[in-house]
């Protein structure tokens, strides 16, 4: 099973996900930099400042990048075959990561931080922890095109998929 971390508001709820030793924690761009993760196994980044930050701050994670960004890092591995004419490197990070996870045969997906998948909007659609990292151009975005690429990657993939933003938030007793 893979726990796939995007950058939407439900990323703040990552502690609600029970993560097992055999799970793969796979991160899109700067979601790999969020504090409180038990580990990061795979991080795929396409933004040059994020590739550089991941190289400095995330020891042990397999750092992947599109060919244009991999040259910026001594640790990043370029996976050119993840990108084709259906994925643009500047907006195909999430679908490329899903493509990789499908190839390695994960048994299920827990999608965390993909809130804009159901309601693509423009505006503040990022988790506060992502915005606090200070990467440029993270306050706006049109996710309709990315969502179509994600749908295409998920089509016909017969594994259970949980979308954390669709799950009810746990109730907390008053005063607790």
- Please state, in angstroms and rounded to a whole number, the distance separating the CA atoms of residues 44 and 31: 10
Cα 24 versus chain centre, distance: 12
- Please state, in angstroms and rounded to a whole number, the distance separating the CA atoms of residues 144 and 53: 27
User: pLDDT averaged over the chain?
Assistant: 80
DSSP label at residue 6: -
Residue 122 confidence class, pLDDT cut points 50, 70, 90: very low
Mean pLDDT, residues 167-171:
76
Identify which has the larger pLDDT, 169 or 106. 106
pLDDT at 26 over 50: yes
- At 8-19, the pLDDT tens digits run 888 999 999 999
Block residue for tokens 């701050």 = 57
Mean pLDDT, residues 25-37:
88
* Interstrand relation of 2-5 and 109-112 (parallel, antiparallel or unpaired): parallel
Q: Of 33, 157, 139, which is closest to residue 99 (Cα–Cα)?
A: 157
pTM score: 0.85
């Amino acid at each position: 099973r893979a726990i796939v971390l995007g950058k939407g508001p439900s990323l703040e709820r990552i502690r609600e996900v029970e993560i097992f030793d055999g799970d793969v924690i796979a991160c899109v761009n700067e979601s790999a930099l969020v504090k409180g993760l038990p580990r990061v196994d795979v991080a795929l980044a396409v933004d040059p400042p994020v590739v550089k930050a991941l190289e400095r701050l995330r020891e042990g994670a397999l750092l992947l990048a599109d060919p244009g960004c991999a040259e910026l890092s001594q640790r990043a591995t370029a996976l050119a075959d993840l990108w084709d004419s259906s994925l643009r490197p500047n907006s195909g990070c999430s679908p490329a990561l899903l493509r990789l996870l499908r190839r390695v045969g994960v048994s299920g997906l827990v999608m965390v931080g993909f809130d804009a998948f159901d309601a693509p909007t423009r505006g503040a659609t990022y988790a506060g922890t992502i915005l606090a990292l200070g990467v440029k151009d993270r306050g706006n975005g049109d996710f309709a095109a990315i969502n179509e690429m994600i749908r295409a990657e998920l089509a016909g993939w017969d594994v259970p998929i949980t979308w954390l933003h669709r799950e009810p938030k746990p109730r907390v007793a008053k005063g607790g």
